[in-house]
Structure 1
């Protein structure tokens, strides 16, 4: 029997809608100002492995480089006690709609209370990027069980959902 996967598309159209969680003293979040495609590949696998992220696994080094070295693409890494706790990528190819392209925590840090603070940082960074008029993200029912609730708690609203049959 096929299982259904529901994809949720969420958006925020004003920075005033952000319901931020306060930053945590034990979580340092740093922008990777020098693009490193191999780092993005590693982060994608580290965070996405538990959730079946596979759409970019077959990408070549050149494809990773083409994505990460665009001026419309930015990456932040969260550290806890020197270890990578999570990351997020912002992508804004049209100069006004910022997508949280990838977001998540490393497996060792799930359930530690870092998700709300990291997502708040991601949304703040998107709104601080001059020209942003809208921030959006998508998630699905196969993601971490708290993902959708975290997005909504930070002020993002579902504007579309789609059901896909999975084999």
Structure 2
């Protein structure tokens, strides 16, 4: 668990109005997995590292990939703080493109010695189910384990795509902790449209 996590008691815990709660699963792998046979994809794809990305372009792709799963952290982060992360030489930003369109985001964070966090990994809705996810994961594993790391880890949550947890496990990740995250609903703050993520009820109800 993260250093700020607190243990919950058994039973129900109330979530304040305007907030949302999700169960987070943290997964890791401690050795490089054996390479998988390359699988054909429906359309040619290119993964390109982007150094010092433009904040507006980065946030646009972040939103396109993550708004259906309520990704919001990089949308609410101050520009200076976000720029400091994206321009850190130990953080790699990669953009997946197909047919001259950006369809995926991969972010690898090597700032903690000896390990890598798969900080963000995702595709736009139209690219899901076409082999792009496996292509992107194969690239992520190769790039992460090309560094002298001892651990690669990632977290997913119940707001993510229903197949995300199984996909990570099939890729070689093993769960090691569970947490509950409570945060403001980004649809109520205007950082995401109110109509996105209909699978998560809007938290605008009163007590």
Q: TM-score range by the shorter chain?
A: 0.7 to 0.9
Q: 2:91 aligns with which of 53, 70, 73?
A: 73
Q: 2:168 aligns with which of 151, 160, 163?
A: 151
Higher relative contact order (CA 8 A, sep 6+): 1
| TM superposition score normalised by structure 1 | 0.87
Q: Shift of the alpha carbon at 1:41?
A: 2.1
Quick one: distance in 2 between partners of 1:55 and 1:89?
14
Stretches of structure 2 that go unaligned for 5 or more consecutive residues are 1-13, 184-202
Quick one: distance in 2 between partners of 1:35 and 1:110?
27
Give 1 or 2 for the bigger CA radius of gyration.
Answer: 2
* 1:45–1:4 Cα change, 3 Å: closer
Q: How many residues align?
A: 164
Quick one: distance in 2 between partners of 1:134 and 1:146?
23
Q: In proportion to residue count, which structure has more strand?
A: 1
Paired position in structure 2 for 1:31: 49
Aligned-CA RMSD value: 2.2
Q: Shift of the alpha carbon at 1:37?
A: 4.0
Which aligned segments of 4 or more residues in structure 1 are displaced greater than 3 angstroms?
Answer: 1-4, 18-21, 163-167
Q: 2:135 aligns with which of 111, 117, 123?
A: 117
Say yes or no: does 1:108 pair with 2:123.
Answer: no
The question of whether the paired residues in 2 share the 8 Å contact of 1:20 and 1:154 is answered with no
Q: Which moved more, 1:39-48 or 1:68-77?
A: 39-48
| TM superposition score normalised by structure 2 | 0.71
Q: Shift of the alpha carbon at 1:111?
A: 2.1
